[in-house]
Structure 1
């Protein structure tokens, strides 16, 4: 497709302010060319007959009361973070009813009256906004989802900035995730052999923002993607997914399915944590398939100060370095890391490569 034609199609799509859901509501049976993705050359583990590749599920039920159990959990988190970069957690302290209400809140937002929803549609950074494909006008192929963004910490949104249909649950859920984040960074610190408060003390829990995604059913799912292959530019991500699958993790040159599990949250290591752990923990690439059934809903909470930039300098943690394990990365500030990604990595290249020594 000629660039000028693509630009016109992108603008026409953007101007509707109805997103991908608007296309589905209009009854399309063929997806527009702007959504076509080149085929991926890597196989799914399930197609190759690998049944034993499953992302670890870690039970946090007794870690407060039972020291032995906490040590076991830390060991499992260490192994998962080194091997997969992903794990699921159950009995994490957030009530299942809160998780279900958060999923319902996202559905309510995207399925409310279009005229009300359009008022939140923008490409400007606001405390809360709704859009379709935040990188729409870049060279990256367009993906089959609509999203809303919400900045949660350190500057909590004002109630009037949030849509009425999901205001209360957004506030409640974000408070729960902030508490859970403190616990997760304690366990990750211990998994690195550091003091439990180490990662919190260097600012890993200071910033939190959320992207909630709505993936409508797709008439030609084999031609497009729900979310393209990427790794997360943050310390960790805590993801809540609804009951429809599609999330896959790239592991040993294969795509591994990560199906939804009732009451569970998915935790993955981000690029910043891979860098400061000097490659001990892995930030894995992942993607979401488009699906003939839907809508699929997910809420991803990112621990990063990216949207409230600080001048804090990060680099490989000195306590983890030795003569046998020298620093593999240069120091960075979060704004510098994000700027490099924005200008050089939209084709899926890892920004970590730029900071390697």
Structure 2
């Protein structure tokens, strides 16, 4: 613990006590507490707007992929995905090819993992950031201003920390491995459409290995007795290429659109896709990563979300990356400088979740 920060205003021993219990937020919820520990109480600025949400019926774009494999490809699908990535940074896809049974089984398996007794789950508990399989509560517990109301099972499917099948908890092993294959197929198709939306060849992102580094984080958001004092996850942008989210029917995700926080309504059978900071940079600002957050869960039933982050694996020989040269013209020069993999990783792991901090650092 030496040298680690703790949430502001909270004695270090309280954070360590929670961490060392290895019971997570689920353990607190199961104990029947009526007030949350103060390490979870967020400052007023983090909670701003929670009680003044717009009653607007606006929703993130919904895109039907049922004809995404057609030849010729309907141009309206490319247009829809490109517009969504440029204006919202978020969209929901349906008819993506994954059977409904696989969606349900994946959610059920992750829920079953999180509902196991502490004694069973605790053997997976860790804070090693690049561990193949890790169960923890708040990856950024010692770097954030306040803890958030969720626990996580994290599984790396690729190097630099690829998990073997035997390392994945048996209770969800088959479903997690099958889910990785399913979600990669969807991501590859979406990335083809995103590449076309920039005027690139459909296979450009695959050539650049944009779906070859994958990590799954499977969250549980248990019931919170004081949801007005904390958050499920604080407002942030994702650092990678794209993120694909599968969730159950319990709402909580909100997306920042302009000055408004928009509640995302889960669509049966739908998957949510959002643009990461890296894709904003390599698209030279054409595609937008946007802030999103998760409210603390006021429902008695837990919210389950299974998030797969896609990052590139094959860096350039110089180990630096920036806007794709194909997208730059005299009229549209680079708006970001090149950066290294080390700079990318150090920026992410040196702090709590935040919004576009790397983008701000490398903006020209």
Q: TM-score range by the shorter chain?
A: over 0.9
Please tell me whether the aligned partners of residues 42 and 255 of structure 1 are also in contact (alpha carbons under 8 angstroms).
no
When residues 222 and 203 of structure 1 are mapped into structure 2, their CA distance, relative to the original with a 3 A threshold, is same
Residue of structure 1 aligned with 2:11, choices 6, 25, 28: 6
**Residue 347 of structure 1: how far off its partner (Å):** 5.4
**Residue 307 of structure 1: how far off its partner (Å):** 12
Please tell me whether the aligned partners of residues 208 and 314 of structure 2 are also in contact (alpha carbons under 8 angstroms).
no
- What does 1:1-357 correspond to in 2, within 5 Å? 5-39=10-44, 40=46, 43=49, 47-51=53-57, 53-65=58-70, 67=72, 69=74, 71-124=75-128, 125-154=130-159, 156-293=162-299, 294-305=301-312, 312-343=319-350, 348=355, 350-357=357-364
Aligned to 2:348, the other structure's residue is in SS state helix
Deviation string 1:29-65 (CA, Å, 9 cap, x unpaired) is 00011001123475479843422x2101100001212
Deviation string 1:264-306 (CA, Å, 9 cap, x unpaired) is 0000000000000011000011000002113100000000158
State the TM-score, normalized to the length of structure 2: 0.92
State the TM-score, normalized to the length of structure 1: 0.93
Hey, what's the Cα distance between the residues in 2 that align with 1:45 and 1:63? 40
Please tell me whether the aligned partners of residues 196 and 202 of structure 2 are also in contact (alpha carbons under 8 angstroms).
yes
When residues 159 and 283 of structure 1 are mapped into structure 2, their CA distance, relative to the original with a 3 A threshold, is same
Q: Which moved more, 1:313-322 or 1:78-87?
A: 313-322
Hey, what's the Cα distance between the residues in 1 that align with 2:168 and 2:315? 19
Q: Which moved more, 1:110-119 or 1:279-288?
A: 110-119
**Residue 187 of structure 1: how far off its partner (Å):** 0.7
May I ask how many residue pairs the two structures share in their alignment? 355
Hey, what's the Cα distance between the residues in 2 that align with 1:216 and 1:57? 28
Aligned to 1:255, the other structure's residue is in SS state strand
When residues 42 and 347 of structure 1 are mapped into structure 2, their CA distance, relative to the original with a 3 A threshold, is same
Hey, what's the Cα distance between the residues in 2 that align with 1:118 and 1:340? 29
**Residue 140 of structure 1: how far off its partner (Å):** 2.5
**Residue 185 of structure 1: how far off its partner (Å):** 1.2
Aligned to 1:153, the other structure's residue is in SS state coil
When residues 311 and 100 of structure 1 are mapped into structure 2, their CA distance, relative to the original with a 3 A threshold, is farther
**Residue 144 of structure 1: how far off its partner (Å):** 0.2
When residues 226 and 179 of structure 1 are mapped into structure 2, their CA distance, relative to the original with a 3 A threshold, is same
